[in-house]
Chain A
Amino acid sequence: MKKDKSLIKTITGSREASLVIVLIILIAVITVMSPSFLSPTNISQIFRNNALTMLMALGMLCVMLTAGIDISITSTLAFSGMIIGLMQKFDYLHNTFLLFVIGILIGTACGVLNGLIIAKGKVAPIICTMGAMYIWRGMAYVISNNAWASGADVAGFSDFGKEGSFGPYIILIIAYIAFFVVMKWTKFGRKIYAVGSNTEAARISGINVDKTIISVYAIMGLLAGLAGVLSVSIYASAQPNMQYAKEMDVIAACVIGGVSMNGGRGSVVGTFLGALIIAIIAKALPLVGISAIAQNLVKGVIILVVVVLNVITQRMMDKQALARREM
């Protein structure tokens, strides 16, 4: 009974496969125009410069799978990062490991709060996280009194994320492997998909929907807190306005990676590819002779084109299916 699918159908049918092809074409074109593109330095820079986005995209994937959204992440990042920075500035703590733990705990707490308000208070995710976005960004300013924690303040700690250190890469690799396994092979991962695909059905089949939603925002908060610590380490400073408005980059990475805003559809691999495509374009523009100033313009056009093309191909496939119907 099994029909063999043609190669082309597999490719157009699978979002990940088409993203890989886009990625290969992209890299090929850039390499032709600028042969030095694939140098180890460039590659490591791509990952280092985008480590925060890539990390938080994993959490955003989970949130979007439940048909939610979290726009408070960079505020959480700033809040946790700022606390970490201040602890060092005022010499409370200099232990890198403990600083990481504290940052992660702060982020998780912020996330749990979001989850509680959304799941128990039945507040729309965008509104709840918008409120949180204001609160934690404002708190970052208030606790620091609008001042920075400078490179000298965080010296030592910044060794973890400085150029040449493997720290950020290790965190990224561990995070991606862990999420890949959890989403595909554990009950918890299945629950997230179930809640996003059909909340009512999930409830009826005995899944604790509220708990799942709270966990998802907690995970998002955890990653945002981690990203905050990482950000202080990588950029060797903490300021209250760090990564301002970058949450949209994280959402954009997910959207390009095929994560649906309506929930239930999206994968770790797709998210990774989406984030990677944005990162590569940002790196490649100057190399192929387009001013770095145009980076955002190109990025925006790509997002719009990708989502619109998706709709158009879906419509064409539907039309073909209709034409095949015998009458």
Chain B
Amino acid sequence: MGEDLILELKGITKIFPGVKALDNVQFQLRRGEVHALMGENGAGKSTFIKTITGVHQPEEGHIYFNGKEVSFKGTKDAQELGIAAVYQHPTSYPELTVTENIFIGHEIMKGGIIQWNEMNKEAEKLLGRLHANFKVTDEVGALTIAQQQMVEIAKALSTNAQVILLDEPTAALTANESQELYRIVDELHEEGVSIIFISHRMEDMYRLAQRVTVFRDSQYIGTYDVDGITEPELIKYMVGREITDMYPKPEVEIGEELFRLDNLSKMGFFKDVSLNVHAGEIVGLTGLVGAGRTETMEAVCGITKADSGKIILEGKELNIRRPKDAMKAGIILLPEDRQKQGLIMNWGLGTNVILPIQDELANNGFINNKKEWEIGKQYLEDVDTKAVTIFDPATSLSGGNQQKVVVAKALVQKNMKLVIMDEPTKGVDVGAKAEIYAIMGDLAKQGYGIILVSSEMAEVLGMSDRIYVMCKGRVTGCLDVEDASQEKILELAMEQSGKEVE
């Protein structure tokens, strides 16, 4: 009992319509520690964070702050005690300035009038403390994600928070920006702020935290000292079973050249991008966020249009002006954002899967339900989706299973030759990740060309045959997987000179 706990939660249960999001979980935060909270998607971490900040009120359980029991009716109560959160998606106000964002809800007032000068000065001080490189009068919508996150942290600091919660703070950050965030967390730690953070990256945990708590299936599994736990152990706790082979890369005979880009350029996004893919080959495309990878692939798939350069598939130059052109030619994109670009979330799974080929299944434009259901069922089963019927809405699935539906939606297109997967495992839990890699391996075996766009180094190194690295809109290098290493890739990804390959 001698521990100095700033925050303790006991027996917390939170129920949403039809599901138990938290089932009798507990948590202890020591004063001044950095505490990681880990678990697969859907384990209940975000709900737990929102319980601490008063967004959700638990059905059962007790919360103690500095040893005293408290109850939060709303976010105000938690704020007043000095608990602040930086959420996964920056909760900023894009049309408002940095100062307005930092002080929203707790403006500095005098006689009922907002003191803009004082607030600007205070905001400048906070930004200085974080070594921010933008102005307090900038509109937040015009800042990068990393900068917006800094605004969020400044917002937390402006309330003199004693406990700061960070929900997946590094998910959208580049390697450099992550380092910057580590520095900020270190400084807060030194100042005695207690920090809870959620992350999928093991690296974050080892670098920052002293202790780690694991949740699985809405339940508390355990709390461990970071120094005393190995990565496989931790994964076992999170997944509930051991994963033997994370990257099941099959031996594949690599065929002839299938696809190539010649000096593809688009002003402001990418320049002179040349690369090629062979049949049966998995080609990794990596680089820092904002290096132009997604933009290049979107131009290949007709989402946007390149200014110049050639797209060549099976020796023939393609004229791609819209997504349909690319799909007809056999280039299929699995977009980065499942929920916004990949699926229609409130539609049934079956309809989502057959949407790209609905015209082919139809009789003179009339929908053929029987055929659609049959094919939808077949492909959803092929990718092993965890669903009851093909009419379940996509919203009812976990992130990993949603991604499988996106894969099924690509597979259903019979003329597919080249598959472009943009961050296929982003936000997907460990278990589903392995299944998606298995599908990827199968596709390579069947002779499809695959471009794997990813920021996750381990995944690129584990699955690719060759790796292209982009930096500031240009391809800065191409590595065979045998010669590649994290260091080499990072070097190319951050290279300053515009050296080109080929």
Contacts and interface: CB of A to CB of B under 8 A. Distances in A.
Whether A and B touch directly in their complex, counting CB atoms under 8 A apart, is answered as yes
Interface of B is mostly: loop
A327 B473 contact: yes
8 A-B pairs with least C-beta separation: A322-B268, A201-B91, A197-B93, A264-B95, A206-B75, A327-B473, A206-B76, A265-B95
Given A201-B92, A264-B93, A326-B472, 5 more contacts: A186-B113, A264-B94, A322-B267, A323-B267, A327-B270
B55 A204 contact: yes
Interface string B452-476: 0000000000000000000011100
B91 A205 contact: yes
Interface stretch (B14-22, B100-108, B346-354, B388-396): B100-108
A193 interface: yes
Contacts, number: 84
Contact of B114 (A186, A203, A319): A186
A193 B95 contact: yes
B268 A194 contact: no
16 contacts: A185-B114, A185-B116, A197-B94, A197-B96, A198-B92, A200-B91, A202-B93, A203-B55, A204-B91, A206-B75, A206-B76, A207-B105, A321-B268, A322-B268, A323-B267, A327-B498
Interface in A171-190: 184-187, 190
B402 interface: no
Interface residues of A, number: 31
A244 to B, nearest CB: 34
B145 to A, nearest CB: 15
Contacts of B93: 193-194, 197-198, 201-202, 264
Contacts of A197: 93-96
Contacts of B270: 327
A205 B474 CA distance: 41
Interface string B248-281: 0000000000000000000111110000000000
A198 B112 CA distance: 24
Interface in B448-502: 472-474, 498
A319 to B, nearest CB: 8
A9 interface: no
Interface string A204-216: 1111000000000
Which of B85, B267, B270 is most buried by chain A, counting CB atoms within 10 A of its CB? B267
A205 B269 contact: no
A196 B100 CA distance: 14
Interface of A: 1-2, 184-187, 190, 193-194, 196-198, 200-207, 260, 263-265, 319, 321-323, 325-327
A311 B488 CA distance: 44
Contacts of A198: 91-94
Given A2-B135, A184-B114, A193-B95, A205 B498 contact: no
Contacts of B95: 193, 196-197, 260, 263-265
B367 interface: no
A322 B135 CA distance: 21
Interface string B68-96: 00000011100100000101000111111
B425 interface: no
A191 B474 CA distance: 44
Given A190-B104, A198-B91, A322-B267, A185 B55 contact: no
Nearest to B498: A327
B143 interface: no
B113 A194 contact: no
Nearest to B155: A205
A205 B114 CA distance: 18
Nearest to B134: A1
B287 to A, nearest CB: 13
Interface in B92-132: 92-96, 100, 104-105, 107, 109, 112-114, 116
A220 B373 CA distance: 50
Nearest to A318: B268
Which of B76, B87, B91 is most buried by chain A, counting CB atoms within 10 A of its CB? B91
A104 B285 CA distance: 64
Contacts of A202: 93, 104
A327 B266 CA distance: 11
Contact of B87 (A204, A264, A322): A204
Contacts of B473: 325, 327
A70 to B, nearest CB: 20
A325 B295 CA distance: 15
Given A204-B91, A205-B75, A190 B114 contact: yes
A206 B74 contact: yes
A203 B271 CA distance: 43
Nearest to A263: B95
A325 B290 CA distance: 12
A2 B109 CA distance: 27
A323 B473 CA distance: 13
Interface in B10-53: 53
A322 B269 contact: yes
Contacts of B91: 198, 200-201, 204-205
Contacts of B112: 186
A323 B268 CA distance: 5
A200 B270 CA distance: 34
B100 A190 contact: yes
Contact of B104 (A1, A194, A260): A194
A49 B112 CA distance: 35
A326 B270 CA distance: 10
A201 B100 CA distance: 13
Given A193-B96, A264-B93, A205 B135 contact: no
A131 B114 CA distance: 38
B105 A205 contact: yes
B96 A204 contact: no
B53 A204 contact: yes
A206 B79 contact: yes
Interface string B287-326: 0000000000000000000000000000000000000000
A122 to B, nearest CB: 16
Nearest to A197: B93
Contacts of B114: 184-187, 190
A206 B96 contact: no
B57 to A, nearest CB: 14
Nearest to B50: A204
B477 to A, nearest CB: 16
A205 B156 CA distance: 11
Contacts of B53: 204
Contacts of B105: 190, 194, 205-207
